[in-house]
Structure 1
Amino acid sequence: MNKKKGGKIAAVIDIGSNLLKMRICQLRKGEIVSLDRLQYPLCLGHEVFTEGKIRFESLRELSGILQGYSEIMAEYGTDQYKVVATTALREAKNRAYVVDQLKIQNDMTVEVLEDDQEKTLIYSEILSSLQTMEQKKIGNALISYIGAGTIGLSVFDGKNMIFSQNVPMGALKLHDMLGNIQEETEDFYVVVEEYLESIMGRIPLPQVEGGLQSLVLTGNEIELIAKICGVEPENDRYIIEAKQIKNLFKEVRSLSREKISDRFGIEEESAELLYSALAIYVRLIQCVKSNTVIAPKVDLWFALMKQMLIPKSSGEYFEHVRVNAISCAQAMSRTYNANEKHTENIRKFACKLFDKMKGTHGLDKRKRLLLELAAIMHDCGHYVNAKDHLSSSFDLLKNIDLYGMTDEEMHIIAYVARYNEYDVPNFDDIAFVGLSEANRLVVSKLVAIFRLANALDKSQMQKLDDIKVRLERERLIITGESDQNLYLEKWAFEQTAPFFKEVFGINPELTIKSKML
């Protein structure tokens, strides 16, 4: 098989919970064209969700199939490829051994995507799909991706995401966890509904004006459900009546997997997942006002393929993450009654300092985003505990889901947000030492900038509405204009300046000019 005429050829291999999939595509006249699509059934999810790890027999099978995929990529003359894994490998206790063996045996580097990374890539494709629909038709929407082992939930306000959370419960995991009870009761569906309610009913979906008007769902089982309901895709999306999904669930909820398989002519493994997925879909339908479910035909592989074949799409994706992460952070900050004028003011100051120091701190735009998010959310701890609000902010931020942010990044954000004019990172603190050396350095740099910015609005009264920043050799000169009393800000600035100098070797100086002059 010769390399076809056209642009670059790329491949995405997705090691999922029950399927090993590969897509090979080529860029032709700016469009991504599919050349080949392969998939192979694997039971990694069953093993991990019941035993906690992947068996070496399964690893050998996985390695053998990947060897075959490598040969097919070579036949197509593939220029680049990416291998990703999701829930099953992410949750496997022996994931390090599996990833290591695949590197040794197949010379493949497997990127194990975190929950937020996986869901954000899919959400970006969902929002691209929704852009072609009339905005008023969608309004406030609950957007969900139902995977084999996790459910991603986000709330869209018509412009941006304002909430994002992942639930460690998917169609396959739900079945594997409760499957044993099925033999003991004819009312198994009641058990499933009660269990789902105990998890889903506690998720603090934001109260939006007018309520949640639309439900946008996607996942591995949606095409099968649409097919059974007799719904054909239009503009690469299915529009399914909510009552059709409810009726289908009523039809299958008392049937065994063998009977579901016979009735719809599907594999028994698919029958198991169909039941679990429908139970989740029906529970989500209860959260919205809409009588229909919008189900775009989107997949993880396409988002990854775009980033490989269309260079500008990586920048567009980062901007998508930045805008929506900030939107979610601002919504969360409001939930915890933070002073929004203060947080936005120091966010502005922190960004100015960061940008002026670019040649000195050596940090990229992703770290700038972490600084912005820390500035927006640093005051949330007051809601929990005014006496020890810094620790409360830290504990709160390190344990939340924020759109597009990894667990590691949330830890960095939490550390940056927990320091004020009295506190600096302590290299004797066991928790801080637990960070990698690279991340300790990142935290120290961001903290030095954040504390300086925070000091400039210590009174939280925005006495300085703007600043000018100039870097001159070993001096960082910050100038502002105000006719108000800034003794508190000057005092806080003096407290934070020594650590800034310790980190960067640059002395910050603050000059306040009168507006009357």
Structure 2
Amino acid sequence: MNRKKSIKVAAVIDIGSNMLKMRISQLKKGEISDLEKLEYPLNLGHEVFTEGKIRFESLHELSGILHGYRGILKEYGVNQYKVVATTAFREAKNRSYVIDQLKIQNDMTVQVLEDDQEKTLIYSEILNTLDKMENKKGENALISYIGAGTIGFSLYNGKHMIFSQNIPMGALKLHDMLGNIQELTEDFYTVVEEYLNSIIGHIRIPFSKGLVSNLVLTGNEIQLIAHICGVMPENGCYTIPAQMLTDLFKQIRSMSQEKISNHYGISEDTAELLYSALAIYIRLIEFSESDVIIAPKVELWDALMRHMLLPKSSEEYFEHVRENAISCAYEIAKTYHCNHLHSENVRKFACRIFDKMKGAHGLDHRKRLLLELAAILHDCGYYVTAKQHLLSTFDLIKDIDVYGMTDEEMLLTAYVSRYNEYDVPNYDDIEFIRLSDKNRLIVSKLVAIFRLANALDKAQKQKLSDIRVKLNNDRLLITADSNENCYLEKWAFEQCAPFFQEVFGYKPVLTVRSSLI
């Protein structure tokens, strides 16, 4: 199939927990339009959530379908494509074997998206949709994506995300975990509601009264629910009265899967997911003051396709992640009573040093973001104890969900935050040795920069309002103006300088100028 060079074509293959999907799209005159969409039902989620592994029979089936998809890609002349997998692959104990076999058999590299990566890509598309809704601009919202195996929550204050959390409990996983109880009681819906409450009930919304103005939900079952409720989309978005969902749930919660299937003309597999998804949606309605649910028609592949066909959108996406990750981090720091002015000063100084050392550290803008997060969160351990605050800081940060950040990135951030003028990364530390060589090097570089920046505001009084950074031969020259007593800062700086020199080969030199005579 011949196509003009001016028309870019790309494809996304999404290996979900219960569906394998492929979408082929083209960019023509700045607009993305679809050429082909294909779907094939899978049983990966059931296998992984009950047995912990993907069966090799399923692997062979998946490989065969991907072989067919590859033929279609050739027909369309597609040479730019992504193959992504989500929860089922994330949680499969044998995922490495499966990915290896797919590479060998199909010559396709499968990228397993982390929970945060998947949700953030979807949320970015949701925010684009909300921005187009004039009546919802600037309003706060709880935004949630309910997948087969996970539920993602993010709080939007009208400008930025200020809270993000993922729970390993989706519609399919909920059914697989509790399904065997269904045969033991006619009051099964109460069991589901109690279990959901034991998990979701612990989430604390950082808004007054714990309620939000808008509830924005999306997930695999939302279109089916909208169809059953007789709601049609407008401008790519469903608006479903909350009472409709409540009434629908009351109607089906005492019905068997077979009865739900017959009543609504859907398969029994879909019926079991419909019940579980509705149970989750009903629980989330309690977080909102709104009597309607906003449900944008967005999917994971919308963002992935945009990034492939519109390269500038990848840069915009990173800036979106950075702004919202920092916003979330500041909200967390507020919870742990961190000194905002100190954190902001350390962040500013750390970024100045990082940017000036660009030619020496070889780290990208994503690592710069880890440095910023470490600066914002580095004192949160004091909330737990002053005695071992560095270890408490480490333990808190490594398990915190921050918008757009992976578990590995938060672990690296935790390491960067846990060193002060007395301590440096140590190869005798068993936890540190567990990191890969690559990550140990990244941590060491970021720690060297962070310790210097933190030392410059050691008293947490912002005696140095700004710094100038310059490289001169083998020295890193830092100059600042201050009329205050800066001997504590100079002492801390001297304590941190040797490790910086060991890592980068540059000797840090601090000069503080005073206008006092």
Normalising by the smaller structure, the TM-score range is over 0.9
**Residue in structure 2 matched with residue 416 of structure 1 by the alignment:** 416
| Counterparts of 1:350 and 1:69, CA distance in 2 | 48
**Residue in structure 1 matched with residue 154 of structure 2 by the alignment:** 154
| Counterparts of 1:85 and 1:176, CA distance in 2 | 20
The 8 Å contact of residues 344 and 376 in structure 1, kept in 2 or not, is answered as yes
The 8 Å contact of residues 2 and 75 in structure 1, kept in 2 or not, is answered as no
**Residue in structure 2 matched with residue 285 of structure 1 by the alignment:** 285
- Superposed CA offset, 1:124-176 (max 9, x none): 00000000123656622100000000000000000000000000000000011
Aligned CA distance change for structure 1 residues 187 and 138 (closer, same or farther; 3 Å): farther
**Residue in structure 1 matched with residue 271 of structure 2 by the alignment:** 271
| Counterparts of 1:173 and 1:73, CA distance in 2 | 32
The 8 Å contact of residues 135 and 158 in structure 1, kept in 2 or not, is answered as no
The 8 Å contact of residues 211 and 287 in structure 2, kept in 1 or not, is answered as no
| Counterparts of 1:439 and 1:181, CA distance in 2 | 45
| Counterparts of 2:502 and 2:278, CA distance in 1 | 58
Unaligned residue ranges in structure 2 (runs of 5+) = none
| Counterparts of 2:9 and 2:65, CA distance in 1 | 21
- Are 1:24 and 2:24 counterparts? yes
TM-superposed CA distance for 1:71, in Å, is 0.3
Task: Write the letter of the residue equivalent to 1:150.
Answer: T
- Superposed CA offset, 1:71-128 (max 9, x none): 0000000021000000001000111111111011111100000000000000000000
Alignment of 1:31-430 (within 5 A): 31-134=31-134, 139-208=139-208, 211-430=211-430
The 8 Å contact of residues 6 and 26 in structure 1, kept in 2 or not, is answered as no
Q: Which moved more, 1:388-397 or 1:131-140?
A: 131-140
Q: Which moved more, 1:201-210 or 1:156-165?
A: 201-210
Unaligned residue ranges in structure 1 (runs of 5+) = none
TM-superposed CA distance for 1:211, in Å, is 3.6
The 8 Å contact of residues 479 and 512 in structure 1, kept in 2 or not, is answered as yes
**TM-score by structure 2 length?**
0.98
| Counterparts of 1:515 and 1:291, CA distance in 2 | 62
SS of structure 2 residue aligned to 1:46? helix
TM-superposed CA distance for 1:243, in Å, is 0.3
Aligned CA distance change for structure 1 residues 431 and 251 (closer, same or farther; 3 Å): same
TM-superposed CA distance for 1:311, in Å, is 0.8
- Superposed CA offset, 1:228-285 (max 9, x none): 1110001100000000000000000000111111111111111110000000000000
- Superposed CA offset, 1:27-84 (max 9, x none): 0111111000001000000000011100000000000000000000000000210000
| Counterparts of 2:6 and 2:261, CA distance in 1 | 43
| Identical aligned residues as a percent | 71
Could you say what the CA RMSD is over the residues aligned between the two structures, in angstroms? 1.2
| Counterparts of 1:12 and 1:425, CA distance in 2 | 41
Aligned length: 517
**Residue in structure 2 matched with residue 482 of structure 1 by the alignment:** 482
Task: Write the letter of the residue equivalent to 2:331.
Answer: A
The 8 Å contact of residues 238 and 294 in structure 1, kept in 2 or not, is answered as yes
SS of structure 2 residue aligned to 1:131? helix
TM-superposed CA distance for 1:7, in Å, is 1.1
The 8 Å contact of residues 151 and 169 in structure 1, kept in 2 or not, is answered as yes
SS of structure 1 residue aligned to 2:319? helix
| Counterparts of 1:174 and 1:200, CA distance in 2 | 13
Aligned CA distance change for structure 1 residues 299 and 173 (closer, same or farther; 3 Å): same
The 8 Å contact of residues 131 and 137 in structure 2, kept in 1 or not, is answered as no
The 8 Å contact of residues 138 and 159 in structure 2, kept in 1 or not, is answered as no
**Residue in structure 1 matched with residue 454 of structure 2 by the alignment:** 454
| Counterparts of 1:146 and 1:136, CA distance in 2 | 22
